[in-house]
Amino acid sequence: MGIYYENYGFSTIFGTLYVKPKVYNNMSKDIRIKKGLNINLVGAAEQTTSKAVLSNVYAINLDDFHGITPKMLVKQGAEIKAGEALFYNKNREDMMFVSPVSGELVEINRGARRRILTLKILADKEQETVAHKKIDVEKVSKEELKAYLLNGGCWPFIKQRPYDIIADPDANPKAIFISGYTTAPLAANADYILKGKEAELQAAVNALGKLTPGKVHVSVGKSSASTLSVLQGVELHRISGPHPAGLVGTQINKLDPINKGETVWTVSPQDLIIIGELLLTGKFNPERTVALAGSSVKAPKYYTTKIGTEISTFLYGSGVNSDNFRVINGDVLTGSKSKPDGHLGYYNNTVTAIPEGDDYEFFGWNKPIFNKISATRALTFSWLQPNKKYDLDTNTNGEHRAFVVTGMYEKVFPMDIYPLQLLKACMVQDLDEMEQLGLYEVAPEDFALTEFICVSKQPHQKIIREGLDLLHKEIG
Amino acid sequence: MSDKRLTFKKRLHIIKHHYRGKKMAPAFNAFHTFLFTPDETTHNGSHVRAADDLKRTMNTVILALVPVLLFSMFNAGYQHYSAINGFPENFSLLEHFLTWDNFWIGIVKVLPLVVVSYGVGLLVEFIFAVIKGHEVEEGYLVTGMLVPLIMPIDTPLWMLAVAVVFGVVIAKEVFGGTGMNILNPALTIRAFLFFAYPTWMSGDKVWVHGAKEGVTQAGSADAISGETILGYLAQGNEAAYQAKYSLSDMFFGFIPGSVGETSTFLILIGGLFLIFSKIASWRIMVSAVIGSLAMGLIFNGIVDAGWIPEYSKFYGLMQFDFWKHLIVGGLAFGIVYMATDPVTGSQTNRGKWFYGFFIGFISVMIRVFNPGYPEGVFLAILLMNVFAPTIDHYVIRGNVKRRMKRLKNAVVLPTDSSAAAKELKAETV
């Protein structure tokens, strides 16, 4: 614990009035986030789990692996086992991406310039899984462990910051962060989906602990009895506060912010289970508990299913209550647009269905609004009932404009970063500014909330994604 | 909810698709989106969006201006008739102020200013939108309302039209439209008129309707005067204004001045509404008030210390009680509605404190030291508009330096594949 006085040099005249001792308490285990906004929506998944109908066809969407150039290892029509590599990363030949099921690779869907978009696998009735030899995490070297995860298809679950991409196995991360605190709207509750998975989680964090000279930070809700809170060998943090308190980026910023040249890895807890199971059994098990939520779902609840499964296999199990709805692979803030016959994303454990908002609203810009969420009180009345649940649709509620309003994003953006200025730096592609204003510390998801409240309806996440890609390309 | 509206909605939808990609599309869309928020949906990124858009934001500011506009229409008549017949002995709001006669002067003199301001300004916006192929943006909705409220009542309409064209084109469109401008367009329009036609913008003849035309006082051959309180003070004629206006007149706004600037009371209510609705920055408002009080106190202190002789031309305004600066002239109006413009003001929360403070400080300073025209709010805000990016720059450098310092203290680990890591490994093996 140290006391640290801000020193602004020439800008001291602008800082003097505000200089106050800041206590940087790295030792503290609790974080309380004040800035943010909880988006309470109708249709939260009830905490009961059903088994989804088995899917005939499983698909891998290559967009899930941002920045990866795939090189196919099997040809169309080939028979593969579950856990067998489908393709590898062109820039990193030992990084394997494996099939979630055994069956026949029936379709390689290509787009412009023959870029692979999706791979479809027709599942066998009898599932067969590749069995790797088991390893003892305690005994193997760091390099052997990395090779095992890379070959076993679990490496893609480890993401890195900066750039929000699959981790570079050569990097030496200063810490690894796992957030088990769920604040995103309608997202799968981490406490619930991790129940009974102590062994897998412990095996996974043991392995991760070996990959970093620093700490493995694990966070849970303030009074949560999450399985994560009993793990050994990790730094446990109790988090409270509104969204985005549960986002790993917020927690990194508060606990151990990323500096230029540093790397931090992040893993989402549901993927820890798959990593743990590979280490314990030698088998890649793509099974996961998925929350089906949203106001268009009749009976929102949890389903156990596999990565790549067709969404309709559980969506229609719960029933839908309209024709005109949108299926989102992920939560409403960060997910990607899908369809009932789309497939569960590689990293997703939430599928949301909400009404499409493709209709006009008479005088929607000046009449008082009671049925939508707003961060202002400009004849919008969501401030009256902060806990009310809303049924939001996908309408933009206005047109795209230049940035006009200031000071609003800061109210929902808890990091020590100027969000508007960083967005503008990304838009004008000013690499120096992007670096100096903290682009290394953020991922697109960190800007989902500012995008939600944006009066100018700017695509914040896209701007940040493009900024990260540019910075990655130019600076590497 | 009838079928009629449904067909109306559908018909507009069809026309929208008819115009899509054509030159006149922005013009049609401006009317269409005025009636209906569009059927646009999100794509990727955040699939749900908050209820507010820029139109709603601008509309909130207009709502905060409506009471001021209505008051100003009555006050136009009240000042006019009082200048002719003398101020009423026992003032009653209903009998002397909220009368049809007064309101009629407002309709004849104030409403045309509003109509010309919106008409000319929106025409320029539409032309630019069609030529440049972008949507008509909402910025002018507020500017168009502010402009008539900061004009002297007798401003000729052609003059206003010329100034609006100048202001919208030079202050806004050449920079790229709403959100891109450096100077506040409404104040640029005001500044243009001030420097181009000073006789119509200052002096003792422009603040009350009829004074410029030489309307005479009842039962006398003397022309009516429309001197403002600041004008009297600048002449060192304190007794003259005290005889005419009480403190409550100043606060509630029964005094001459630019059309909408007089009622500090209604401006205060508008300001509180804007702060409550989270549309305008309270930081700017509070710091601007502090800044103006600080400058006023300094001047009062100079007078109290006896550093300035009574015959000095600055004495009248310098000895004016520091807090009274807030209830005369355009200071309150400028602080609440103009300084808080998010596009031209400071964009960082910390910067807003400095930006607001200097607006208040410099406003009172110019007010006292400008012999020709005892008012400085619009000049102070324009000046600070220019400095706002500089203030932000230093505030943001503070954040960058903090990040740099963190980097300096950080131990950056070598990558596993780098030479350093291999060396390290060799040593440990």
CA B423 centroid distance within chain:
65
Give residue B81's identity as a one-letter amino acid code. Answer: Y
Report whether pLDDT(A115) > 80. yes
* Residue A275: CATH number of its domain: 3.40.50
From B44's Cα to the closest Cα of chain A, the distance in A is 6
In chain A, pLDDT over 90 holds for what percent of residues?
87
Per the CB < 8 A criterion, the answer to whether A123 and A54 are in contact is: yes
| Cα distance between residue B250 and residue A411, in whole Å | 37
Vertex B356: Cα angle to B355 and B361 (nearest 5): 100
Nearest CA in chain A to B397: A11
Sole residue written with tokens 């596999």: A306
Predicted local distance difference test score (pLDDT) of residue A310: 96
In chain B, % of residues over pLDDT 70: 94
**C-beta atoms of A396 and B177 within 8 A:** no
> Which pLDDT belongs to residue A322?
85
Is A364 close to B50, i.e. CB distance below 8 A? no
Compute the average pLDDT of residues B388-394. 96
In contact, B206 and B220? CB cutoff 8 Å: no
Whether the pLDDT of residue A459 is over 90: the answer is yes
Asked whether residue B230 carries a pLDDT value surpassing 70, the answer given is yes
Least confident of A214-218, B195-199, B231-235, B359-363: B231-235
What is the pairing mode between strands A46-51 and A301-306? Answer: parallel
Chains A & B: contacts with CB separation below 8 Å: 275
A74 Rama sector, left if φ>0, alpha if ψ -120 to 50, beta otherwise? beta
Check B59 against A18: CB less than 8 A apart.
no
Domain count, chain A: 1
d(CA B343, CA A63): 37
Q: Which of B113, B377, B154, B160 is nearest to B267 (CA)?
A: B377
* Strand boundaries in A69-223, DSSP class E: 70-72, 79-80, 85-89, 92-98, 103-110, 116-123, 159-161, 165-166, 175-179, 215-221
Other C-beta atoms closer than 10 Å to the C-beta of B279 total: 25
pLDDT at B414: 66
B67 SS3 class? helix
What pLDDT, on the 0 to 100 scale, is given for residue B222?
A: 83
Say what percent of chain A tops pLDDT 70.
Answer: 94
Sign of CA dihedral A159, A162, A165, A170: negative
Cβ atoms of A194 and A227 within 8 Å: the answer is yes
Q: How confident is the model at residue B237 (pLDDT cuts 50, 70, 90)?
A: confident
**Probe site for chain B from A41, A210, A366, A427 (most B CB atoms < 10 A):** A366
Kindly give the pairing relationship between strand A175-179 and strand A350-355: unpaired
Q: For residues A239-249, give the mean pLDDT.
A: 95
* B45 closest CB neighbour out of A14, A374, A451: A451
Could you identify the residue written with the tokens 């994560």? A228
Residue A3 reports pLDDT greater than 60: no
Give the chain B residue nearest A451 (alpha carbons).
B46
Cα–Cα dist B180/B174, whole Å? 9
Q: CA-to-CA distance for A44 and A84, rounded, in angstroms?
A: 35
* Pick from A257, A335, A410: CB nearest B47: A335
CA-nearest residue of chain B to A326? B47
Name every chain A residue with its beta carbon within 8 A of the beta carbon of B407: 259-261
Q: Give the integer Cα–Cα distance in Å for B175 and B167.
A: 12
- Amino acid B1: pLDDT: 46
- Using one digit for the tens of pLDDT, what is the confidence trace for A180-214? 999 999 999 999 999 999 999 999 999 999 999 99
Q: In angstroms, rounded to a whole number, what is the distance separating the alpha carbons of residues A441 and A448?
A: 15
Domain residue ranges of chain B, discontinuous segments joined by + = 3-35, 54-396
CA atoms within 13 A on the CB side of A389: 8
Give residue A20's pLDDT band: very low, low, confident or very high (50, 70, 90): very low
Q: What is the pLDDT of residue B356?
A: 97
Residues of A in contact with B40 (CB under 8 A): 358, 395-396, 399
Percentages of chain B per state (helix, strand, coil), in multiples of 5: 65, 0, 35
Residue A313: inside a domain, yes or no?
Answer: no
Pairing of strands A22-24, A2-4: antiparallel
pLDDT tens profile B150-167: 999 999 999 999 999 999
Chain A positions in Cβ-Cβ contact with residue B5 (cut-off 8 Å)? 362
Taking an 8 Å cut-off on Cβ atoms, the answer to whether B46 and A17 are in contact is no
Residue A271 amino acid letter = D
> Contact A121/A80 with Cβ under 8 angstroms?
yes
Average pLDDT over all residues of chain B: 90
Question: What is the model's pLDDT at position B224?
Answer: 84
* Overall average pLDDT of the B375-399 stretch: 95
pLDDT(A448) > 50: yes
User: Cβ contacts (< 8 Å) between A455 and chain B: which residues?
Assistant: 52-54, 56-57
- How close A82 comes to chain B (CA, Å)? 31
How far apart are the CA of A471 and the nearest CA of chain B, in angstroms?
17
In this predicted structure, what is the pLDDT of residue B11?
Answer: 86
Indicate which of A14, A403, A454 best probes the interface with B, i.e. most B CBs within 10 Å of its own CB: A14
Buried-state track A461-472, b at ≥16 Cβ within 10 A, e below 16: bbbbbebbbebe
What pLDDT was estimated at residue A329?
Answer: 95
pLDDT tens digits, A398-447: 999 999 999 999 999 999 999 999 999 999 999 999 999 999 999 999 99
Residue A236 buriedness (CB in 10 A; 0-12 / 13-18 / 19+) = middle
Which strand ranges, in their side-by-side order, compose the sheet holding A264-266? A30-32, A235-240, A215-221, A175-179, A264-266, A159-161, A165-166
User: Of A378, A394, A410, which is closest to B48 when you measure between CB atoms?
Assistant: A394
DSSP B284: H
For residue B3, what pLDDT is reported? Answer: 54
In this prediction, residue B5 has a pLDDT band, given cuts at 50, 70 and 90, of low
* Beta-ladder partners of A402: none
Q: Give residue-wise pLDDT tens across range A333-352.
A: 999 999 999 999 999 999 99
* Model confidence, pTM: 0.91
Q: What is the mean pLDDT of chain A?
A: 91
Distance CA B427, CA A416 (A): 39
Beta-carbon separation of A365 and B44 below 8 A: no
Q: Does some domain include residue A198?
A: yes
HSE-CB of B42 using CA atoms within 13 angstroms: 37
Is a pLDDT exceeding 50 seen at residue A22?
no
Record: contact B278-A378, CB cut-off 8 A: yes
Half-sphere exposure (CA, 13 Å, Cβ side) for B29? Answer: 25
Alpha-carbon dihedral angle through residues A422, A427, A432, A433, given to the nearest 10 degrees? -30
Say how far apart CA B160 and CA B113 lie, in whole Å.
8
- Phi, psi at residue A48, to the nearest 5°? -135, 145
> What is the torsion angle, in degrees rounded to the nearest 10, for the CA atoms of residue A88, residue A92, residue A95 and residue A101?
-10
Q: How far is CA A442 from CA A127, A332, B225, in A?
A: 40, 19, 63
Name the more confident of B217 and A176. A176
Tell me: pLDDT of A476 over 80.
Answer: no
| Contact assignment for A14 to B395 by CB distance below 8 Å | yes
Chain B closest-CA separation from residue A158 CA (Å): 16
Average pLDDT (B317-337) is: 94
CB atoms within 10 A of CB B202: 19
Q: Does A24 score more than 60 pLDDT?
A: no
Residues pairing with A179 in the sheet: A219
Nearest to A377 among B276, B354, B400 (CB): B276
Average of per-residue pLDDT across B63-79: 96
Nearest CA to CA, how far is A382 from chain B (Å)? 10
Optimal mutation site among A172, A337, A367, A373, interface B, most CBs of chain B within 10 A = A172
CB–CB of B149/B180 below 8 Å?
no
Cα–Cα distance for residue pair A463/A254, rounded to 1 Å? 23
Closest CA to A400 of A460, A358, A355, A444: A460
Domain residues for the domain of A276 are 2-32+136-281
Q: Which amino acid is at B20?
A: R
pLDDT, residue B417, reads: 57
Poorest-pLDDT segment among A87-101, A153-167, A297-311, B35-49: B35-49
Q: Please say whether the dihedral angle defined by the alpha carbons of residues B83, B88, B93 and B97, taken in this order, is positive or negative.
A: negative
Question: Which of B43, B55, B180 comes nearest A337 by C-beta?
Answer: B43
Q: Note whether residue A100 is domain-resident.
A: no
Report yes or no: B283 and B349 within 8 Å, Cβ to Cβ: yes
CA dihedral A146, A149, A152, A157 (to 10 degrees): -140
What's residue A6's pLDDT? 39
SS3 A128: coil
| Chain B contact set for A41 (CB, 8 A) | 48
A375/B50 touch (CB, cutoff 8 Å), yes or no: yes
Among chain A residues, the shortest Cα distance to B56 is held by A365
CA angle in degrees (0–180, nearest 5) for B254-B258-B262:
30
DSSP B105-159: HHHHHHHHHHHHHHHHHHHHHHHHHHHHT-PPPTHHHHHHHHHHHTS-TT--HHH
Residue in B342, B345, B341 with CA at minimum distance from that of residue B390: B345
Check B402 against A15: CB less than 8 A apart: no
DSSP B370-424: -SS----HHHHHHHHHHHHHHHHHHHHHHHHHHHHHHHHHS-PPPPTTSHHHHHH
Burial of A370 (0-12, 13-18, 19+ CB in 10 A): middle
Whether B56 sits inside 8 A of A365 (CB atoms) is yes
Tokens 């298809």 identify what position? A153
List, as one string, the DSSP characters of B209-229: TTTTTTPBPTTSSSBP----H
Rounded Cα–Cα distance for residues A194 and A198 (Å): 8
The enclosing H or E element of A448 equals helix A448-453
Residues of A in contact with B425 (CB under 8 A): none
Tens digit of pLDDT for each residue in A341-398? Answer: 999 999 999 999 999 998 898 888 889 999 999 999 999 999 998 889 999 999 999 9
Please answer yes or no on whether A436 and B400 come within 8 Å at the CB atom: yes
